[in-house]
């Protein structure tokens, strides 16, 4: 019984240390960028020795990967586009519209000095690094998560096409790819230029109108 108690305590300490390291990493990624942040700096920011982070993570990529998936799933509201099998075309379309609106509202309120802002900008710094740096581990994971998101959007569009709710000649796959990467581009632009919030918000709205143009009743 004593051995188990000690084991649980060690697990708790490990979990607490990792939480502190993740928080420190997000802060530094947000402040200094991914490429300029070292494991040693993260460890010191978390209040540990320079080498403590290396005990838990083999390298910076391993720590970043642990953060990345939560960032993408949460900030891209992936759960909202989990479309059930038995929905109608109208219901599927509403799921897509609700998702776009949630993204617009979410990203539009993330500027300032809140803790949530630091977590999101830090996560986006990792996401951007995955797209632009030579970190193969990050790039591969972002590509996989992007494919999964595209597949969900494509499924919604396909449901709508089968019932004639949107144009059957529309390329569901290409539209889904455009949707996912356009939203990401708008989010990145908003963080790069916070003062352009009204312009980016308008761009989200225009994107919504573009989607509406796919509806067959829009052509009547």
pLDDT tens digits, residue range 10-55?
888 888 999 999 999 988 988 888 889 999 999 999 999 999 999 9
The H-or-E segment that residue 27 falls in is helix 2-32
pLDDT band at 115 (very low <50, low <70, confident <90, very high): low
Closest to 64 in 3D by CA, of 147, 12, 125, 15: 125
- Single pTM value for the model: 0.77
**Cβ atoms of residues 69 and 141 within 8 Å:** yes
pLDDT tens digits, residue range 71-114?
777 778 888 898 888 899 999 999 999 999 998 887 766 655 55
d(CA 47, CA 193): 32
pLDDT at residue 93, as a whole number: 95
β partners of residue 215? 166
β partners of residue 166? 215
d(CA 127, CA 139): 8
Closest to 22 in 3D by CA, of 109, 14, 103: 14
């Amino acid at each position: 019984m004593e051995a188990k108690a000690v084991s649980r305590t060690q697990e708790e300490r490990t979990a607490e240390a990792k939480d502190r390291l993740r928080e420190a990493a997000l802060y530094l990624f947000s402040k200094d960028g991914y490429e300029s942040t070292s494991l040693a700096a993260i460890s010191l920011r978390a209040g540990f020795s320079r080498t403590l982070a290396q005990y838990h993570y083999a390298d910076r990529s391993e720590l970043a990967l642990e953060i990345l998936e939560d960032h993408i799933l949460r900030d891209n509201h992936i759960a909202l586009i989990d479309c059930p099998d038995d929905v109608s075309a109208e219901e599927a379309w509403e799921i897509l519209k609700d998702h776009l609106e949630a993204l617009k509202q979410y990203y539009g309120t993330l500027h300032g000095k809140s803790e949530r802002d630091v977590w999101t900008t830090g996560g986006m710094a990792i996401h951007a690094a995955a797209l632009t740096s030579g970190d193969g581990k990050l790039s591969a994971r972002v590509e996989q998560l992007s494919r999964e998101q595209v597949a969900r959007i494509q499924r919604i569009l396909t449901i709508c096409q089968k019932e004639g709710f949107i144009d059957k000649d529309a390329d569901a796959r290409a539209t889904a790819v455009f949707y996912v990467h356009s939203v990401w581009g708008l989010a990145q632009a908003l963080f790069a230029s916070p003062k352009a919030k009204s312009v980016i918000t308008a761009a989200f709205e225009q994107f919504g109108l573009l989607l509406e143009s796919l509806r067959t009743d829009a052509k009547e």
